[in-house]
Amino acid sequence: MLKKRIKAFTLVELLVVISIIAMLLAVLMPALRKARQQAQKVVCSSNMRQMGVALQCYLQENDSHLPDSSCHTSDPNQYWLKILIKYLKQDLLFKCPSDKTENFVDWNKPLCQQPADSRWSSFTLNALLDSKCSRFNGRYNSVKFIYKPQHCIYVSENPSSWTSADHIHPETWGYNIKIAKGQIAWDRHLKKSNYLFTDGHAETLKIEDTYSWPGNCFWFPEAAPAWPADD
């Protein structure tokens, strides 16, 4: 009597199949990761564009004056994040999808009730544009006076270590890109980062393209794009 042959994988066949799958995964994973990072970059830049629309609405209602950072204002209701939220109605827009930190504040609750090391947002404001900025006596809080609004950065992305703060001081960088890199999440999106300019447009750029000398400086309202103009 013939023994009925059971059709099954041999151990060798199984190992070959497993190794082929592993090899395919190894080849595909980096591509998939890159595709995901690319998608997150697009979402972040689209969120920033929505912030830009909110900003335009605010500017129209406030004689072209920009919302302030917390630098010279003690009332949290006057902080730019609080102000723009009113126009966005979605505080999620203040969190970059590539920002993996979890300790964000809940802007619907008072700040004083939340842990001191909370992250206010994935984004920070350029304090040189504050209405009480001593360097320019607040002159550039009005977009009308900014040399080239399309070349002046208002909001940038901050590193994950940036807690309890909503602004940066580009005047302290001293033309040193290394210092700038410590305050900007310059590599959050595939060695680039998103920036919102004072004319309301958003751009994905390498930090070197925003702060190169001689060349472009998109951080100083009186100098952009040529700089330095201050000394």
- Cβ-proximal residues to 93 (8 Å cutoff; 6+ apart), any chain: 47, 50, 51
* Range in contact with Zn ion (rule: CB under 5 A) among 14-22, 54-62, 93-101, 148-156: 93-101
Q: Look at strands 123-126 and 193-197 and give their pairing.
A: unpaired
- Cβ-proximal residues to 107 (8 Å cutoff; 6+ apart), any chain: 81, 82, 85, 91, 94
- Cβ-proximal residues to 124 (8 Å cutoff; 6+ apart), any chain: 69, 155, 156, 157, 158, 162, 165, 166, 167, 168, 183
Q: Which of 96, 105, 184, 207 binds Zn ion (CB under 5 A)?
A: 96
Q: Look at the block and give the residue holding tokens 């010279």.
A: 72
User: Count of residues binding Zn ion (CB under 5 A)?
Assistant: 5
In the range 100-159, which residues lie near Zn ion by CB under 5 A?
Answer: 127, 157
Q: Which is nearer to Zn ion, 71 or 146 (CB)?
A: 71
Q: Which is nearer to Zn ion, 78 or 225 (CB)?
A: 78
Q: Which is nearer to Zn ion, 44 or 59 (CB)?
A: 44
Sign of CA dihedral 224, 153, 186, 162: positive
CB of 160 to Zn ion, least distance (A): 11
CB of 37 to Zn ion, least distance (A): 10
Q: Does 93 participate in binding Zn ion (rule CB under 5 A)? A: no
Q: Which of 54, 59, 71, 223 binds Zn ion (CB under 5 A)?
A: 71
Q: Comparing C-alpha atoms, which of 108, 119, 105 is closest to residue 85? A: 108
* Range in contact with Zn ion (rule: CB under 5 A) among 6-14, 17-25, 89-97, 112-120: 89-97
Which residues make up the interface to Zn ion (CB under 5 A)? 44, 71, 96, 127, 157
